[in-house]
Structure 1
């Protein structure tokens, strides 16, 4: 089971947990004012569950670092302390040193767990309400009924479950509106052509010929015609061709106008509302106990 430093697992863990940073808190023996060390880091598993606190037993960066299972830690942000349940300074010093370079493997964790497990009862985890045996060391001879292939942190809740007695968490939930958009067909615009008929009128100037017969008196009227000039014949006809223009109408197609069809996107803000629920905290105390909210 791989373990990761909290910063490596979640670089933005400050925003994720939205609470006080556990790093830098002093580690004290439970029930005593004996300082064991300082929390320098946190180790989490693949799912982000807290498994160990890395405790620096010395001053600044030169001290020995050991692992404290999260189930053996009680965090009190009121006094900025972490209490190691059932552990003394001497027992902490007996823990195998945590080497950041070599990391953590099953064999190393077993050495760590060997200090916290009860050397008497080999079937159950240690009672966190009782201090560890001060004589407990790495060479206890205790052989757990676990192996590297089947071991799971859930097998030892006393070591790896967050202490529910001293660290109870009540989650308050609220609903919020999530606004999304979906594209759907609002309608359809069909643009086509149809043929309409109408009567068009056009004026055409036309020419028409007509015969004008004009009778006039010649200037030599009354003079005698020369012999043989007068030829009286019947059937003599003068012919004149008469022409006129008539309209010659034909049709031709011309472009009247051009229609361009495009789409434009217009934006608008739509407001929606719904009823959401939110849980609020009700604190009911008996006996006049003081309550401090942070």
Structure 2
């Protein structure tokens, strides 16, 4: 299941998740010793938009600026102290967490390595560590504060039978609520979920346009007026009485001739290349509106009461508290 950096998925994440505040940069302390171990570098959310991990940059006193993942279920926020407490972990266990790089893809195998460290830490703790008084009174800046586990038993208190399941279950995370569930047992809050359509857009290549020239042949006719000369010979016969030739050397015989030059125009047909058209190629952006219709669901609260108990139904929202969306 893909995980996303909160700022990449939702640029307005401060208002969407944290009531205008920013969790990044908040110091992280161990809940049992109050030792500072790092600060929040980023937040990872699932495809459904639910916070799954805080990315913590470890302090130099723990071996350098190594980044690790903190499952949200192990994090308790103390708004009055502007810090995050990490439950049930020691410095040595934090050091064992696999390194996280901002450009890496968090796959199932990597998450299993992360979960194994927390599972081992939980197994080593026979009795859950009780959070200190300031942490118990904390009310999470933009996060739901997970309450400390009961002292009498290590197993988490079962959720109320009438608590609705999330509309979009994420089985990988739902199987380990101790690591990923965001809960507020102090008020037995029942979270109601609804589906919303999220409109987004992305740019994708839809095709190629190739422009090239090709030769088209056809038959063309051209007319050229031409002139040509011709020799016209007119012969007059039956002269009256004939014509007397006085030249002493006149005789009948061969050898008397005339030359006349005769000219004619011949057409010169040739081809020449000329530009007949100019083509301008450019791209234009057209605006369009795509409308989608989907069926969305919402959970509503049902209260079953036996007898005549007094029920006070009132809104209850802490100004610094924001439920997971």
Alignment TM-score, normalising by the size of structure 1? 0.46
* Structure with max Cα Rg: 1
Structure scoring higher RCO (CA < 8 A, sep ≥ 6) equals 2
Alignment TM-score, normalising by the size of structure 2? 0.42
